[in-house]
Amino acid sequence: MDDRELIERAGKAREHAYGRYSGVKVGASVLTESGEVFSGCNVENASFGLTICAERAALFAAVAAGHRKIKKVAIVAEGMEFPTPCGACLQVMREFDVDEVIIAGSDGKVDTYELSSLLPKPFRL
């Protein structure tokens, strides 16, 4: 699967986002080592700590289906110019050995990062 298709799937997931409080709707798709794709969207809550980001929703869906190695994560947003993942999402990506993070900005610009450049010193036990 190429990056553009992964971004398109993230965009479809974004359509289901619940961004009632921030006004931001985010979709993410992950590509597993075996070639399967899982998607998720952000779901906000009035108790902000209960909110889940799209990236973690997609990653957790893949893990729930039995996958432990994620090759790529694609992220798209509406209401945010450039949807850089939060620290919690980056740390979860590290847990599952994500190689690449693809960020599609609202202006159509697409940038690809190695996870280590976004999270150079992850927490480790």
Which domains are assigned to the chain?
Answer: 3-118 (3.40.140.10)
Q: Which residues contact 125 (CB under 8 A, 6 or more apart)?
A: none
Q: Which residues contact 56 (CB under 8 A, 6 or more apart)?
A: 40, 88, 89, 92
pLDDT at 68: 97
Give per-residue burial for 14-41: e unless 16+ CB within 10 Å, then b.
Answer: beebebeeeebbbbbbbbbeeeebbbbb
CB 85 within 8 Å of CB 98: no
Chain centroid to Cα 117, Å, comes to 16
Q: What is the mean pLDDT of each run of 10 residues along the chain (125 residues)?
A: 96 97 97 98 97 98 98 95 95 96 92 97 94
pLDDT at 107: 84
55 is catalytic: yes
Model confidence, pTM: 0.95
pLDDT at 108: 86
Q: SS3 for 15?
A: coil
User: Which among 33, 55, 81, 100 is annotated as catalytic?
Assistant: 55
Among 90, 86, 106, which Cα is nearest to 98's?
90
- How many other C-beta atoms can be found within 10 angstroms of the C-beta atom of residue 49? 5
pLDDT at 86: 97
Q: Return the DSSP state at 34.
A: T
